[in-house]
Amino acid sequence: MGIPHFLAIPYPILGHMNPLLQFCHVLAKNHGCKITFLSSDEHFKKLKKAASSSGMESEMMRLVSLPDGVDPNDDRSDQGKVILTTRTTMVDMLPKLIEDVNGMDCDNKITCVIVTKNMGWALQVALNLGIKGALFWPASATALASFDSMQTLIHQGIIDSQNGLPTKEHKEIHLSSNLPKMDPSAMPWYCLDNTFFFLHMKQEIQTLNQAQWWLCNTTSHLEPGALSISPKVLPIGPLMADQTTSSSSSSLILKEDETCLEWLDQQQPRSVVYVSFGSMVSIKPNQFKELALGLDLLNKPFLWVVRNGINGCKNNNGNYGLYPDEFHGSKGKIVNWAPQKKVLNHPAIACFVSHCGWNSTIEGVYSGVPFLCWPFVSDQLMNKIYICDVWKVGIGFEKGLILREEIKKKVEMLLGDEGINERCLRLKEIVIKNKQEGQKNLNEFINWAKE
CB atoms within 10 A of CB 156: 11
Kindly state whether residue 357 participates in binding ligand UDP, applying the rule CB under 6 A: yes
Q: Closer to ligand UDP by CB, 39 or 345: give it.
A: 345
Kindly state whether residue 358 participates in binding ligand UDP, applying the rule CB under 6 A: yes
Is residue 279 a contact partner of residue 310, using CB atoms and an 8 Å limit? no
Sign of CA dihedral 77, 80, 83, 88: negative
Q: Closer to ligand UDP by CB, 260 or 293: give it.
A: 260
Q: Closer to ligand UDP by CB, 39 or 359: give it.
A: 359
Question: If you count them, how many residues does the chain have?
Answer: 451
Q: Is 303 left (phi over 0), alpha (psi -120 to 50) or beta?
A: beta
Q: Give the one residue of 84, 280, 390, 446 binding ligand UDP; rule: CB under 6 A.
A: 280
Interface with ligand UDP: number of residues (CB under 6 A) = 17
Q: Give the one residue of 340, 345, 434, 441 binding ligand UDP; rule: CB under 6 A.
A: 340
* Shortest Å distance, C-beta 6 to ligand UDP: 21
Q: Is 370 left (phi over 0), alpha (psi -120 to 50) or beta?
A: beta
CA distances from 313 to 154, 287, 321, 336 (A): 39, 12, 8, 15
CA 345 distance to own-chain centroid:
19
Kindly state whether residue 15 participates in binding ligand UDP, applying the rule CB under 6 A: yes
CA distances from 357 to 124, 128, 222, 362, 407 (A): 29, 35, 15, 9, 19
Q: Closer to ligand UDP by CB, 111 or 311: give it.
A: 311
**196 phi and psi, to 5 degrees?**
-55, -45
Q: Give the one residue of 217, 230, 251, 287 binding ligand UDP; rule: CB under 6 A.
A: 251
* Shortest Å distance, C-beta 192 to ligand UDP: 14
* Shortest Å distance, C-beta 170 to ligand UDP: 29
Q: Closer to ligand UDP by CB, 358 or 445: give it.
A: 358
The pairing of strands 112-115 and 272-276 is: unpaired
Q: Give the one residue of 278, 332, 368, 396 binding ligand UDP; rule: CB under 6 A.
A: 278
Task: Using alpha carbons, select from 335, 318, 338 the residue that is nearest to residue 256.
Answer: 338
* Shortest Å distance, C-beta 138 to ligand UDP: 7
* Shortest Å distance, C-beta 278 to ligand UDP: 3
Residue type, 396: G
Q: Give the one residue of 276, 287, 421, 434 binding ligand UDP; rule: CB under 6 A.
A: 276
Q: How many Å is the Cα radius of gyration of the chain?
A: 22
Kindly state whether residue 363 participates in binding ligand UDP, applying the rule CB under 6 A: yes
Within 378-417, the residues that bind ligand UDP by CB under 6 A are none
Kindly state whether residue 337 participates in binding ligand UDP, applying the rule CB under 6 A: yes
Distance CA 424, CA 415 (A): 12
Q: Which stretch in 29-37, 54-62, 200-208, 358-366 sits in contact with ligand UDP by CB under 6 A?
A: 358-366
Note the residues at the interface with ligand UDP (CB under 6 A).
15, 250-251, 276, 278-280, 305, 337-338, 340-341, 357-360, 363
